[in-house]
Amino acid sequence: MTLRLREALVQGIRREGERAYPAECCGLLAGRPGSVKDVTRLVPATNRRTDDPHRYLISPDDLRRIEAELRDSGEEVVGCYHSHPDHPAAPSAFDTEQAWPWYSYLIVRIDRGRAAELTSWVLDDDRAKMSPEPVDVLSEV
Amino acid sequence: MSVTVSIPTPLRPFTAGRDTIELAGDTVGQVLDGLVAAHTGLKRHLMQEDGRLRNFVSLYLNETDIRHLASTATPVRAGDVLTIVPSIAGGSPAATETKAQLSHAEMLRYSRHLLLPEVGVSGQRKLKAARVLTVGAGGLGSPLSLYLAAAGVGTIGIVDFDVVDLTNLQRQIVHGTSTLGQPKLDSAAARLTDLNPNVRIERHETRLTAQNALEILRQYDIVVDGTDNFPTRYLVNDACVLLGKPNVYGSIFRFEGQASLFYAEEGPCYRCLYSEPPPPGLVPSCAEGGVLGVLPGIIGSIQALETIKWIIGAGNSLLGRLLLFDALKLRFRELELRKDPACPLCGSNPTIRELIDYEAFCGIGAEPAYTGPEISAEELRREMNAKGNELVLVDVREPHEWEIAHIAGARLIPLNQLPERLAELDGHAEIVTHCHHGARSMKALEILKGAGFGKVRSLAGGIDAWAERVEPGLPRY
């Protein structure tokens, strides 16, 4: 599946990653799944991992609350985003181990404080690895 | 009793798109078993291979997390709703702290690092935040700990229980003549702190054992193996795999060395390369076989390099590659290493799930014991004086050892030539064999006894005991 989002949302993720540097940022992607996953907005989430700046955790309680809020507008969680400070925008072993199927995992590399490449990944059905997913960025008119 | 299971969006591809499923069962566990039996694709996402729920799967019975109830044994009633809720987690590859700030003095000290874009301030801060354990403060541990300390690794743990001996100083450059006789930990800590007072040295003055290894290794991000024996090497490897830590491997022998990075989370472990240790005694230690002093300097430096690259996340690591170095030919070679799916430790069906008895695994204590009549150095001196030529002293060491020191009146017949040179010996004479410390001499006794020689004894403690107690003018080695 392709992940489609507006340029402004991409910029939003990049800014959040830069602001959190050298720690990681994390948040959820709200959208409407169809033949492509259309991301409608970003939902910044609280990172519940406070012991290690290179780990993030969005708790099930937070996810339930956010999903309930989205339900009224017909949106749902289609994935999440997080930053890799000074590491490539590719899933770590830990990312893969923790991943859910179907969700899109957007990763932005923050290179010495500046946002660099942004990629999206989806877990393979056999959980062996995550595969890249095309990202369609809609430029603003 | 029918319970409604609510399926989250990411799992609906495995339930034909359905968001709720009605299932029967008396407990949460039974309902789950029914769910994965009806929709088999769900199982690997919800459960680990041992059948336990994955840590990122939360289950709510009505409004309560079952972890606050009786987990999967929680009873369910008709009309209950069981909701599967994801926790979403992840993180970047090296979970190293980056909070560490650099002082102005540190900026200056590390300026040559800061000038490299691949290191820079962020890499230097990662080094400062890193916790590295080096196992052994000997040949490999010396260059390794010196370069790690110089590079600004914030915390270096060292495991060693030995004292500095004169024979160490030909290669163990973290120690010095002024620290002879001191514990290696004290000697190394003093030198490393002098090199870089910003580094915190954590001392583990103990032999690494199956009882303490997990506790010690757990405290560090990365482990560097500078051991000189197989039981400890397997122990370090196994503990690293069980704890999910990278293991920077190095080994040396005479003129040859090896190095690699083992990390079972992303590649092979030491057991994927060598599933079984060599038979005991086949590979001599450095104390038995010798080692060129600069060789551990090269291999230990490569281990330091791989450790630093791992911490800062730069370049291509030795993961999946075994580096072989031949000092005499001055040649590096490389072998590709693959994770062994049948590896008993990190393969798909591991049989080793906890630390084992490594001495027994490596056959130590089980090797055939060579025993025979012995004679002390003092008694040998008395008998040589009394019996003169009636007593034949056979030195079974190698000619280059003979050149270092030999006992006047001894005959040199190296152990490997002994079976062919038995005719040189008088079958009726009293024979005493000797070597460096006594082990080879015992093997020589077996050969002589097997050939029918009756009056044979071995010098206990070898020429070393002789030089220590009888002839102090003789050099020791």
Compute the distance between CA of residue B375 and CA of residue B395 in angstroms, rounded to an integer.
Answer: 14
By percentage, how much of chain A surpasses pLDDT 90?
62
Q: What tokens does B278 get?
A: 């060599």
In chain A, which among 25-54 make CB contacts under 8 A with chain B?
26, 28, 33, 45, 49, 52-54
How high is the pLDDT of residue B55?
85
Active-site residue set of B: 286, 435
Compute the distance between CA of residue A116 and CA of residue A112 in angstroms, rounded to an integer.
Answer: 10
User: 3-class SS at B66?
Assistant: helix
Nearest residue to A103 (alpha-carbon basis) of A71, A81, A134, A72: A81
Cβ-in-10-Å burial (0-12, 13-18, 19+) of B433 comes to buried
Question: Do B72 and B27 contact (CB within 8 A), yes or no?
Answer: yes
Q: Are strands B430-434 and B391-395 parallel, antiparallel or unpaired?
A: parallel
Cβ-in-10-Å burial (0-12, 13-18, 19+) of B403 comes to exposed
In chain A, which among 54-113 make CB contacts under 8 A with chain B?
54-60, 63-64, 76-78, 80, 82-87, 91-95, 98-103, 105, 112-113
**Residues of chain A contacting B87 with CB distance shorter than 8 Å:** 57-60, 63
Q: Shortest Cα distance from B348 to chain A (angstroms)?
A: 12
Q: In sequence order, which ranges of B415-461 are alpha helices (DSSP H)?
A: 439-450
Residues B301-336 as b or e (16 or more Cβ within 10 Å = b): bbbbbbbbbbbbbbeebbbbbbbebebeeeeeeeee
Rounded to the nearest 10 degrees, what angle do helices B141-151 and B184-195 cross at? Answer: 30
User: 3-class SS at A106?
Assistant: strand
Q: Shortest Cα distance from B91 to chain A (angstroms)?
A: 4
**Residues of chain B contacting A128 with CB distance shorter than 8 Å:** none
**Residues of chain A contacting B16 with CB distance shorter than 8 Å:** none
Rounded to the nearest 10 degrees, what angle do helices B141-151 and B294-312 cross at? Answer: 40
User: 3-class SS at B129?
Assistant: helix
Compute the distance between CA of residue A25 and CA of residue A58 in angstroms, rounded to an integer.
Answer: 11
Q: Shortest Cα distance from A8 to chain B (angstroms)?
A: 24
Nearest residue to B205 (alpha-carbon basis) of B158, B168, B240: B158
B41, B44, B86 member nearest A60 (Cβ): B86
Cβ–Cβ below 8 Å for B92 and A84: yes
Cβ–Cβ below 8 Å for B9 and A76: yes
How high is the pLDDT of residue B97?
38
B85, B95, B265 member nearest A63 (Cβ): B85
Length of chain A: 141
**Residues of chain A contacting B126 with CB distance shorter than 8 Å:** 86
Provide the residue-wise pLDDT of chain B in tens; the chain has 477 residues.
689 999 999 999 999 999 999 999 999 999 999 999 999 999 999 988 777 788 899 999 998 888 878 788 889 999 999 999 999 998 876 544 345 789 999 999 999 999 998 899 989 999 999 999 999 999 999 999 999 999 999 999 999 999 999 999 999 999 999 999 999 999 999 999 999 999 999 999 999 999 999 999 998 999 999 998 899 999 999 999 999 999 999 999 999 999 999 999 888 999 999 888 887 766 777 777 889 999 999 999 999 999 999 999 888 899 999 999 999 999 999 999 988 888 999 988 889 989 999 988 887 765 555 678 999 999 999 999 998 888 999 999 999 999 999 999 999 999 999 999 999 998 888 999 999 998 889 999 999 999 999 899 999 999 999 999 999 999 999
A59, A77, A99 member nearest B9 (Cβ): A77
Cβ–Cβ below 8 Å for B122 and A85: yes
Question: Do B399 and B411 contact (CB within 8 A), yes or no?
Answer: no
Q: Shortest Cα distance from A101 to chain B (angstroms)?
A: 6
Cβ–Cβ below 8 Å for A56 and B90: yes
Number of alpha carbons in the 13 Å side-chain half-sphere of residue B456: 22
**Residues of chain A contacting B86 with CB distance shorter than 8 Å:** 60, 63, 100, 103
Rounded to the nearest 10 degrees, what angle do helices B377-387 and B462-469 cross at? Answer: 80
**Residues of chain B contacting A106 with CB distance shorter than 8 Å:** none
B44, B87, B122 member nearest A86 (Cβ): B122
In chain B, which among 264-293 make CB contacts under 8 A with chain A?
265-266
Question: Chain A residue with minimal CA distance to B125?
Answer: A22
Cβ–Cβ below 8 Å for B88 and A101: no
Task: Examine the pLDDT at A141 and tell me if it is beyond 70.
Answer: no
**Residues of chain A contacting B65 with CB distance shorter than 8 Å:** 60
Cβ–Cβ below 8 Å for A102 and B11: yes
Question: Do B219 and B157 contact (CB within 8 A), yes or no?
Answer: yes
User: 3-class SS at B429?
Assistant: coil
Phi, psi at residue B405, to the nearest 5°?
-165, 145
Q: What is the mean pLDDT of residues A22-34?
A: 90
Question: Do B259 and B303 contact (CB within 8 A), yes or no?
Answer: yes
B11, B96, B121 member nearest A101 (Cβ): B11
Residue-wise pLDDT for A43-59, tens only, equals 988 888 876 778 889 99
Question: Chain B residue with minimal CA distance to A96?
Answer: B90
